[in-house]
A and B are shown apart, each in its own frame.
Chain A
Amino acid sequence: MKTLAVQGLRGGTGASSVAAGLAEALSQAGEPVLCLDLDSRNLLRLHFNHAWDDPRGWAQARQEGLAWHEAAYVQGARLHFLPHGEPDDLEQAQDDDRDDEPALWQRRLASLEAEAYRWVVIDVPAHDPVAQRQARRVADTWLLVSQADPACHALLEAHTVSVGEYLLINRLSARSALQNDLHALWQQQHDDWLVPLSIHRDEAMFEALAHKRGVVSHRPDSLASQDLHRLAAWLLAQHGASST
């Protein structure tokens, strides 16, 4: 089982959309996938056609004393997703979280059947250190989603790269001279951890969320879908290379 965390370098880089699309692309490549939302804003579910007023999820299940995995939904033959859920008392739940030991998810994922999932894709919130710390304990690959813009460039200057971490450019538009320049600059500065392919800016990505779907199932022939399929193939290749 390979655990992949997807986190935005800052808010609004489209990390959740990438996580959902990537989970779809991986499952379409024949890999059983569990997609997991660690963000208390509970938005990843909207990519999976989840009912707006359905509060279920792992955080809510815990508050009600249920098993954490009982709130998972079947999204397709090989794709399961687990929303964060909306506990009645969110602040209480967050306090619970803070009390949790960092190895919480490590323990939980270890309790899964070994062959149940080949990939666990975790949507990690950009501004929640607790969730990030927990995800760090389980993730062996970490995708840091960013946009080729000056804000991200500044944040990257201060960022320390950890093992297994990769920088992914989302919403790349070759029409923008600034993006082209930053892209070229990053290829030099961040060559060792920059993913060799990027996700293009594509209206289909935004439309997909409006349709409450992931972009790969919503617009299979869009450029963003192709990019996600290639990203999935790249991850599988990385995985294959590391496991042999």
Chain B
Amino acid sequence: MTLLLRRSLMKPLSRYYRALRIKRGAGPLTAALLTLCWLLGWALWRFESPAWRELFTRHGHAFRHLRRRRPGLADPLRYLIQIVWLAMLRPHRPRPCRASTADTPPASWWAQAREAYRQALHSLPQRLMPTMRRAPQTTTDASSWPLLAMGILATLLMLLVITQPFSLTAQAVFVVLLWGIALVVKNIPGRLATLVLIVLSVTVSCRYLWWRYTSTLNWNDPLDMICGLLLLGAETYTWLILILGYVQTLWPLNRRPVPLPEDASRWPTIDLMIPTYNEPLEVVRPTVLAALGIDWPQSQLRIHLLDDGRRAEMREFAASVGINYITRNDNRHAKAGNLNHAMTVTDGEFLAIFDCDHVPQRSFLQMTLGWFLKEPRLGILQTPHHFFSPDPFERNLGRFREMPNEGTLFYGLVQDGNDLWDASFFCGSCAVLRRSALEAIGGFAVETVTEDAHTSLRLHRHGYTSAYLRLPQAAGLATESLSAHIGQRIRWARGMAQIFRLDNPLLGRGLSLGQRLCYANAMLHFLAGIPRLIFLTAPLAFLLLHAYIIYAPAAAILLYVAPHMFHSGLTNSRIQGRHRHSFWSEIYDAVLAWYIARPTTMALINPHKGKFNVTVKGGLVAKRYFDWGISRPYLLLVLLNLTGVVAAGWRLYAGPTDEIPTVLVSLVWTLYNLMILGGAIAVAAEAHQVRHHHRVRVDQDAAVAREDGHAFPCVLHDYAESGVGLRLPRSNMLEPDEMVTLLLRRGRQEHAFEARVVHLSDNQAGLTLAPMSLPQHIAYIQCTFARADTWTLWRDDIAEDRPMQSLRDVMGLGLEGYRRLFLHAPPSVRRSLGWLGSFFPRRLTIAPAGQRQYR
């Protein structure tokens, strides 16, 4: 028995010993001791059992490094350390190596180090974030006090950092330190890094403002003081907007749609309302037809055309397509009144609102209604306003679809950021509202000219929530001319200022702090007019009037201003990069500044004044022209700034030497202003628009069948309500005035439309569609305007922000503005300036083909 036992024991022991000795080359003593250890272990645990076997095979690789080396006496310790180490650390997951690395010649150590640094930064959030994510979940009421304490401590430290006066050298060190941290952190992906950047930026900007308030005002000289206070006021305003902006866009929610119940009979009834006042039928028709094509049970969707113009034409059209026509005897309270009146004669559970030029996609209701069924307190859900025509900025600058436009920032980021705070608001169109919620607040708000924002503010005050779905589910026409665009913005600005006065979101009941801040920012944003004008003229106070607006040495100014601008620029570029390119918003703001300055101020003083002006859409810029009326204030500002440049030259030449740095700083500022103003002027040169009906630019597969039976593929180049433009494979494929059949696909279904060739040039053809039956017309709208894929590629092709590239572009644009100004100037001015200009050296212009129209 013992013999048997001994033999059965000896066999594996000797096998273990021999393996150590022969296979792994251990010395006899080591092998013997290790075998003894193994025996001891074996006496306690059954190593041969399947559970242990599995453990060995599963975790064998964790001890690979020990298995590979020659066994040593200290091996048990090594294993122990490795076990403890593994128990404490998460396994490291190697990134997949790129296949090419093996073939490429070894990079220089510098490049390798850089790559390793970059990789390390990239993997940092993955290592940190799991713990970050777990933290809030474990926080309970009991454990929130350490957070509170830390918050108080951090605030105190922050206050110390902001208020601590530094010598110039200390400030320089501080600035370089923060700058270095920002440069490192900006390469780390993830929201944690963004938060760090925000903290840095807030610190620097607060410190700047503190310094401005405490040590840069000259109270002894009245002129200095007045100019200085004006500038300081403007700077405080931008600081406020900056901080509120950070709060607003801290954590965009990126909500996804919620699926509806399978059983369509349980879907709610919808009143789809299309308010119109004076827009022509061609603008309204696609919207109505697209609404007719929305996927929703027919008995539960009622479409209403709300015509405040009381036009017989509209009534007939509504009757011909079988939708409801609602009108009223007066036009009180404009759109809000129109909608309120329509609410009295309808009774669906939900209201979907579309401006008469926003063409809904067929999926609109299915995408949006899910959230309402899930959340009974949801009062309003907004979707983006997407435009398939360029706005005046994009058109006049020839940059449609090349970079984010004004709306992109708002609909791409700000509303999504608002959504986190439950503060996304109604924008008048492309939205769904709950009728019971509207009834609880007494219908759409009529006190201001921006009924949309005010209505959602009231909904929030009454405890209803809002949602924002960042999926373009409708598209419309942008305003045509710059003057109309500015008119629209004036209305928004005035309305927001009115709300700010009449129903201030910072006061009153029912709002959370986040909601108050988001609404306040939305409204304050429109007060940017006067501060912007101050910035555009501030350096002149010194250059022309010799007023020390920032009463500090030039070096100190640089050391405080530069980091403030750098950090806010960097952080905003990081947050908004995909939705706004640096410096461009300066131009948008500059164009609007003059025009919104007066109405907002008036609205703040007397909020009850001011009428509703309808935004004109679908108009026509008949001829390329320069809008002298619009650009007059900017020409004045340009003249002032040019005088400032001359004055700077004179001061450099004749002024005291200790003023030279200040003069240089002011000069740079003036030149920057001139550049922005040049851009603003470039916008005023209206590119002309040939057609009355808006043609939407696309590149989409299509085909044409001729009457003789031949068919060939082509590209749908653009489309409009009544016709299309095609690009043919070669010229002479069609005859003028020929009737053809246009084949358009939507998904897997194909539709045929009769059309007449009206225009032929080279391989381009223009077709006018023959009269269509109603189902055909709906199909046409679905194949074109209401297509899902025309704008689901939305903004994906737009590059990330590269601040330096943006600066170069804006600089080029500034020069372009002056060139256009020159081209449109009266002949006498042009001649004399042209003679001066003939001395200028020329540079080669490399412009995209789209800009050729300005040559």
* A residues lining the B interface (CB < 8 Å): 172-175, 180, 183-184, 187, 196, 200-204, 206, 221-224, 226
Contact = CB atoms under 8 A, between A and B. Distances in A.
Contacts of B703: 200, 223, 226
A203 B748 contact: no
A223 B705 CA distance: 9
B734 to A, nearest CB: 13
A187 B748 contact: yes
A226 B752 contact: no
Interface centre among B710, B733, B749, B751 (most CB of A within 10 A): B710
B709 interface: yes
Contact of B749 (A183, A224, A226): A183
Interface in B722-764: 729-730, 733, 741, 743, 748-752
Contacts of B733: 221
Contacts of A200: 703, 705, 711, 743
B741 A204 contact: no
A140 B751 CA distance: 34
A203 B708 contact: yes
Contacts of B712: 221-223, 226
B707 to A, nearest CB: 10
Contacts of A226: 703, 712-713
Contacts of B743: 174, 200
A226 B743 CA distance: 14
A206 B710 CA distance: 10
A203 B709 contact: yes
A241 to B, nearest CB: 20
Contacts of B749: 180, 183-184, 187
A52 B433 CA distance: 74
**Closest 8 A/B residue pairs (Cβ):** A203-B709, A223-B711, A174-B752, A174-B750, A221-B729, A202-B711, A226-B713, A175-B752
16 contacts: A174-B741, A174-B743, A174-B751, A180-B750, A187-B749, A200-B743, A201-B705, A201-B709, A201-B711, A202-B705, A203-B708, A221-B730, A221-B733, A222-B712, A223-B703, A223-B711
B710 A204 contact: yes
A174 B754 CA distance: 11
A224 to B, nearest CB: 7
Interface string B695-717: 00000000101001111110000
Interface in B625-659: none
Contact of A224 (B711, B729, B750): B711
A222 B706 CA distance: 11
Contacts of B730: 221
Nearest to B709: A203
A172 B710 contact: no
Contacts of B710: 202-204, 222
Contacts of A204: 710-711
A226 to B, nearest CB: 4
Nearest to B733: A221
Contacts of B748: 187, 196
A200 B708 CA distance: 14
A177 to B, nearest CB: 10
Contacts of A224: 711
A173 B710 CA distance: 12
B711 A203 contact: yes
Contacts of B713: 221, 223, 226
Given A175-B741, A221-B730, A202 B751 contact: no
Interface in B645-701: none
Nearest to B706: A203
A129 B793 CA distance: 50
Nearest to B730: A221
Contacts of A174: 741, 743, 750-752
A173 B751 CA distance: 9
